[in-house]
């Protein structure tokens, strides 16, 4: 009996030991899983290469470095980044190839920084960039080949800067650009050639600039009229000068009211040209002291450009000409009808008179004939 009791006690103790071991193993398993999960959480930013002061969203490849007081672009950006937000920082300069670590970038936001100058190679390598926001910086001018390396660019916003001049070209023709904004700058003029390099642009925003509505802006006005006619969308261009057009919308000023631009003259006749005034617009002759080659070049420079034709005036002229021609034709037709009617009445009258004259003669002849027969 003692042996049986000892065996039962041993089995009971062994069961307790097994249960304890099971609980211990489960506890160790849970602790290991928690340690592994925490290590993955802490090591994830390091593995993905997310900068210390930025927030990365891996599923969408979105990196947000806004409002962090950054003075330069982080160098350890994830290479698979598609959207990068750097707005509301203190970035003053961008070195050449500043975004070479993110070649797949499609959207870049640099709003509200302190950028005053952009070198021509700053966007080198961004072959897939579609949206570029450079608003509210301190840019004064742009180099002619600044955006040469952005063939896929579709939206460019340069609003709220201090840009006073834009070159005639900002790179190769932008076949894909559809939105161009240059609002709230210091522009007085805009070369038509720049807009013609954007064949697919559909939204053009130009308001709140210092537009000088003189003869040099006439080509822009004509281009905008064609742009709107083809379905383009633009905002109002309010003239800041001269006083004659101050506060007026450029598109509502008839182009006939623009005076021809003064053409450059030789230094020897500059004083004479100033004395001619607005009443004398004849082109002065070149000085005799110039050589033939210089004279030919001078004459080429002062030749006025042909005045652009106005479609509305052309249509009105055609309509008026048609109406006048129609009236003349109706008058000629009325004259022909009147002439024919008058001729017919006159002929009928003369036929009646002849009949009356011939009738007595026939009667007398008949009587003579009857008497002779008798």
145 and 61, same domain (yes or no): yes
Least confident among 47-56, 83-92, 212-221, 338-347: 47-56
89 and 204, same domain (yes or no): yes
Sign of CA dihedral 63, 67, 73, 74: negative
87 and 191, same domain (yes or no): yes
Q: How confident is the model at residue 71 (pLDDT cuts 50, 70, 90)?
A: very high
Q: Mean per-residue pLDDT for 203-228?
A: 93
Count of domains for the chain: 2
Q: How confident is the model at residue 120 (pLDDT cuts 50, 70, 90)?
A: confident
204 and 81, same domain (yes or no): yes
Residue 28 is predicted with a pLDDT of: 54
202 and 63, same domain (yes or no): yes
Give the range of the structural domain holding residue 184, as residue numbers without chain letter: 52-209
Whether residue 107 lies inside any domain: the answer is: yes
The reported pTM is: 0.60
Residue 308 is predicted with a pLDDT of: 52
191 and 125, same domain (yes or no): yes
Least confident among 63-67, 136-140, 369-373: 369-373
- 343 pLDDT more than 60: yes
196 and 106, same domain (yes or no): yes
Average pLDDT, the chain: 79
Neighbours of 194 (CB within 10 A): 17
Residue 317 is predicted with a pLDDT of: 85
- Residue 277's alpha-carbon distances to 53, 95, 154, 273, in angstroms, are 65, 52, 47, 7
Whether residue 160 lies inside any domain: the answer is: yes
100 and 244, same domain (yes or no): no
223 and 204, same domain (yes or no): no
198 and 112, same domain (yes or no): yes
CA distance 242 to 71: 42
Residue 22 is predicted with a pLDDT of: 62
- 234 pLDDT more than 90: yes
Residue 309 is predicted with a pLDDT of: 52
> Which positions ≥6 away from 194 have C-beta within 8 Å?
166, 167, 168, 169, 170
């Amino acid at each position: 009996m003692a042996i049986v009791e000892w065996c039962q006690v041993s089995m009971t103790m062994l069961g307790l030991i097994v249960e304890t071991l099971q609980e211990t193993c489960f506890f160790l398993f849970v602790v290991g899983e928690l340690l592994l999960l925490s290590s993955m959480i802490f090591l994830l930013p390091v593995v993905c290469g997310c900068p210390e002061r930025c927030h990365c969203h891996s599923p969408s490849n979105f990196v947000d470095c806004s409002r962090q007081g950054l003075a330069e672009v982080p160098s350890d950006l994830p290479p698979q980044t598609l959207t990068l937000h750097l707005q509301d920082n203190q970035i003053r300069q961008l070195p050449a190839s500043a975004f070479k670590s993110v070649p797949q970038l499609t959207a870049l936001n640099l709003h509200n920084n302190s950028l005053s100058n952009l070198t021509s190679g700053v966007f080198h390598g961004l072959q897939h960039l579609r949206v570029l926001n450079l608003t509210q910086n301190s840019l004064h001018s742009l180099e002619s080949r600044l955006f040469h390396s952005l063939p896929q660019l579709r939206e460019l916003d340069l609003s709220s800067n201090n840009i006073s001049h834009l070159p005639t070209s900002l790179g190769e023709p932008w076949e894909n650009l559809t939105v161009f904004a240059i609002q709230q700058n210091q522009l007085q003029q805009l070369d038509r050639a720049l807009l013609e390099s954007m064949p697919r642009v559909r939204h053009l925003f130009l308001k709140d600039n210092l537009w000088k509505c003189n003869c040099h802006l006439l080509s822009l006005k004509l281009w905008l009229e064609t742009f709107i006619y083809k379905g383009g969308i633009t905002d109002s261009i309010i003239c800041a000068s001269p006083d004659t057009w101050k506060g007026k919308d450029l598109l509502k000023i008839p182009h006939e009211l623009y005076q021809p631009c003064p053409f450059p003259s030789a230094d020897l006749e500059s004083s004479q040209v100033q004395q001619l005034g607005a009443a004398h617009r004849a082109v002065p002759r070149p000085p005799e002291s110039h050589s033939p080659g210089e004279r030919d070049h001078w004459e080429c420079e002062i030749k006025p450009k042909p005045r652009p034709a106005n479609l509305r005036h052309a249509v009105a002229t055609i309509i008026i000409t048609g109406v006048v021609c129609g009236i003349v034709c109706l008058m000629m037709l009325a004259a022909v009808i009147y002439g024919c009617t008058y001729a017919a009445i006159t002929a009928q009258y003369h036929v009646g008179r002849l009949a009356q004259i011939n009738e007595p003669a026939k009667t007398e002849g008949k009587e003579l004939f009857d008497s002779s027969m008798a």
